[in-house]
């Protein structure tokens, strides 16, 4: 059977100890006995009781001195103390109450009064302990709540700063950036409104991707069907890059665009981020570049082939260029072609200018080098 509680009795009179211990033990309490103040303090240090019955007048260390030391120690300052006194002097009672006693029992004691006072103060002590535990629990819970509030506020501030930085970057880029799900757009940046000719975000976000496109794409594909396919592809693969024809809501003017769809998750739901770049200027520059390359190729082909009619002098064989200047035929050909020259004499000119040469010497002219 479990004891109703542990009670320490400190009294220098053996008869009093026996009577008190017997009455309490018979009522189910576990009793610890001490014959003086020093032993009482040692017993408390060894095993903490729930209640102390403390005789005031003991030789050596009296009950008041013991009470002072018990109240000075953290491990024993909350133990209820009932003083036992052979007198009914009010001065002793006042002194005891000042030291922290909870009650007094006068010798000779009545058993029923003793048990009633002991039970009452044990229950009060236990109730006080529970209240203190609850108060400590509430204090710790409140501290934890305050820490969580501070942490949440810091997290919210961090998120708010991140959102502000993201929105600033989001709205400052020249590319159109928009968020969409399977139902269509639900957010966009300022560049989107400029690119698509919409006055407000609400106006743009009320549209489906196919609504900001011509009915068909190059090649004849239906814009709405193809847009749904691109969205499904990006959702499945995580990213999808393609070119698309869009048009402006205010003018109806179409323009080519480079589109990058990236899958993401917002509030636990799948979504897409679309980055759209108008490539009208790029297409025009590419066309101009291709035309310039073709023009250069054509010009080079015409120059290198020396096509067309060339005026040539019937006497000296000089050629007249487009500016009206006459130049040696080899100079003109070198300037307008990739041909190179090495000078020599044909057999006819050798006979004319070198009649003294023999027939064998003339045969060397076949290589273009006179046999001089």
Q: If you search the block for the tokens 């990006």, which residue do you land on?
A: 234
Q: Could you give the number of structural domains in the chain? A: 2
pLDDT by residue (tens digit) across 82-107? 998 877 778 888 888 889 889 988 88
pLDDT by residue (tens digit) across 216-242? 999 899 998 998 899 899 989 999 999
Rounded mean pLDDT, 105-118? 88
Residue 260 lies in a domain: yes
pLDDT band at 368 (very low <50, low <70, confident <90, very high): very low
Largest CA distance in the chain: 174
Nearest residue to 80 (alpha-carbon basis) of 58, 60, 59, 97 = 97
pLDDT band at 372 (very low <50, low <70, confident <90, very high): very low
Query: How far is C-alpha 27 from the geometric centre of its chain's CA atoms?
Result: 66
How many angstroms separate the CA atoms of 192 and 2, rounded?
79
Same domain (yes/no): 122, 22: yes
How many angstroms separate the CA atoms of 326 and 343, rounded?
20
Rounded mean pLDDT, 136-144? 88
What six digits make up the tokens of 182? 């399977």
Q: Report the relative pairing of strands 51-55 and 81-85 from DSSP bridges.
A: parallel
Same domain (yes/no): 124, 186: no
Query: What predicted TM-score, i.e. pTM, was given to this entire model?
Result: 0.42
Residues spanned by the domain of 240: 173-283
Same domain (yes/no): 23, 125: yes
With residue 180 as reference, give the H or E element that holds it.
Answer: strand 176-181
Rounded mean pLDDT, 153-175? 63
Residue 316 has pLDDT above 50, yes or no: yes
pLDDT of 82: 93
Same domain (yes/no): 126, 192: no
pLDDT of 173: 77
């Amino acid at each position: 059977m479990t004891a109703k509680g542990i009670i320490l009795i400190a009294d220098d009179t053996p008869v009093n100890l026996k009577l008190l211990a017997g009455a309490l033990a018979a009522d189910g309490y576990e009793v610890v006995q001490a014959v003086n103040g020093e032993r009482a303090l040692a017993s408390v240090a060894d095993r903490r009781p729930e209640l102390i019955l403390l005789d005031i007048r003991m030789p050596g260390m009296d009950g008041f001195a013991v009470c002072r030391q018990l109240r000075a120690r953290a491990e024993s300052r909350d133990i209820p103390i009932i003083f036992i006194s052979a007198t009914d002097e009010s001065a002793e009672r006042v002194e005891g109450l000042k030291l922290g006693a909870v009650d007094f029992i006068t010798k000779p004691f009545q058993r029923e009064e003793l048990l009633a006072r002991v039970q009452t103060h044990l229950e009060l002590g236990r109730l006080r302990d529970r209240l203190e535990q609850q108060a400590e629990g509430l204090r710790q819970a409140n501290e934890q709540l305050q820490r969580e509030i501070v942490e949440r506020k810091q997290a919210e501030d961090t998120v708010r700063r991140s959102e502000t930085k993201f929105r600033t970057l989001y709205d400052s880029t020249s590319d159109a950036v928009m968020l969409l799900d399977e139902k269509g757009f639900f957010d966009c940046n300022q560049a989107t409104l400029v690119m698509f000719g919409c006055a407000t975000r609400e106006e743009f976000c009320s549209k489906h991707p196919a609504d900001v496109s011509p009915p068909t794409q190059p090649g004849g594909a239906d814009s709405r069907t193809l847009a749904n396919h691109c969205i499904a592809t990006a959702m499945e693969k995580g990213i999808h890059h393609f070119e698309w024809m869009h048009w402006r809501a205010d003018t109806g003017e179409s323009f080519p665009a480079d589109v990058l769809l990236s899958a993401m998750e917002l509030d636990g739901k799948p979504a897409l981020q679309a980055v759209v770049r108008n490539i009208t200027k790029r297409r025009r520059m590419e066309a101009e570049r291709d035309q310039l390359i073709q023009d250069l190729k054509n010009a080079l082909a015409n120059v290198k082939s020396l096509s067309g009619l060339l005026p040539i002098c019937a006497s000296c064989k000089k050629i007249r260029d487009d500016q009206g200047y006459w130049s040696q035929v080899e100079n003109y050909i070198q300037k307008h072609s990739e041909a190179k020259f090495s000078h020599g004499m044909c057999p006819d000119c050798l006979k004319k200018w070198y009649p003294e040469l023999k027939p064998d010497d003339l045969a060397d002219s076949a290589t273009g080098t006179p046999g001089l």
